[in-house]
Amino acid sequence: MKIVRHPKGSEFEKEIGYARLVTADRWIFVSGTTGYNYATMEIEPEVEKQAGQCLENIGSALASVGASLQDVVRINYYLKHAEDFPACWPILSKTFGAHPPAATMIEASLAVPDMLIEIEVTALQPDS
C-alpha cells in the first residue's frame, strides 16, 4: 500500500504533527477541518456558515488529489453543541443528498472557543 501525506503548510500541521490529507492507494483521509476561511483566518459566528466553510475547505483538499465531495464515503461531524446540528442540515443535504456518505455526529469540546463544528471525511478516489 502506498501512503502519501499531503500537508497544506499550516502552522497547526507543523506544531501538532499532522497532515491535512493522507492518501493510501485510492483511499483519502481528510483531517478534522474547521470553519476558518484560510485566506483571512477568520471564522463566522454562525454554525451553519462554519459548516459551509468546512465543506469548502474539505472540497479544496479533495480537489488537490483529484477527488471531490461526491467521493466522500464516510463523514464525522463534531459539534460543540449537539442542538446546533439541525441548523447545518440544509447545507449538508444540499452537498451530500444525491450521494450520502455514512455519517456520525458527536458532541465534543473543540480546540478554540469560536469553533462550533469540525468535520472529517474519508473518500475514495474515483476510477481514472
pLDDT tens digits for 34-63?
999 988 989 999 999 999 999 999 999 999
Instruction: Kindly report the pTM of this predicted structure.
Output: 0.94
Q: In this predicted structure, what is the pLDDT of residue 101? A: 98
Can you say whether residue 25 is alpha, beta or left, with left for phi > 0 and alpha for psi between -120 and 50 degrees? left
Nearest by Cα to 65 from 99, 16, 25, 13 = 25
Question: What counts of helices (H) and strands (E) characterise the chain?
Answer: 3, 8
